[in-house]
Amino acid sequence: MPDFAQDFAKMDRRAAMRNIGLLLGAVSMPTLANCVEAAQAPGALDEPRLKLLTAIADTIIPVTDTPGAVAAGVPRLLSGLLANWASAETRKELVGAIDAIGQLASAGSFADLPFAERTALLRAYDTAAIQYAPPRGPKLTGIAALLAGPPTANPAYLRLKSLIISLYYNSEIAMTQEIEYEHIPGRFEPSREITATTRPYAGVGGLY
10 Å CB burial of residue 65 (0-12, 13-18, 19+) is: exposed
Q: Where are the beta strands (DSSP E) in 37-125?
A: none
Q: Taking 60 as the threshold, does the pLDDT of residue 1 lie above it?
A: no
Q: Using 50, 70 and 90 to split pLDDT, how confident is the model at 10?
A: very low
Answer whether 0.95 is exceeded by the pTM. no
Torsion of CA 201, 205, 207, 208, to 10 degrees: 110
**Which secondary-structure segment (H or E) carries 15?**
helix 3-24
Percent of the chain with pLDDT over 90: 38
- Please state, as a whole number, how many other Cβ atoms lie within 10 Å of the Cβ of residue 162: 16
| Cβ-contact 154, 104 below 8 angstroms | no
Average pLDDT along the chain: 78
Q: What is the pLDDT of residue 5?
A: 34
| Cβ-contact 63, 84 below 8 angstroms | no
- Please state, as a whole number, how many other Cβ atoms lie within 10 Å of the Cβ of residue 48: 12
Q: What is the pLDDT of residue 116?
A: 96
What CA–CA distances, in Å, run from 107 to 47, 102, 104, 110, 113?
A: 20, 10, 9, 9, 9
CA 190 – CA 192 distance, rounded (Å)? 5
114-162: pLDDT as tens digits? 999 999 999 999 999 999 888 777 777 777 676 666 788 999 999 999 8
| Cβ-contact 102, 110 below 8 angstroms | yes
User: How many residues in total does the chain contain?
Assistant: 208
Q: Is the dihedral of CA 103, 91, 63, 184 positive or negative?
A: positive
Which range has the top average pLDDT, 49-53, 129-133, 198-202? 49-53
11-20: pLDDT as tens digits? 344 555 556 6
Q: Which of 181, 132, 178 is nearest to 153 (CA)?
A: 132
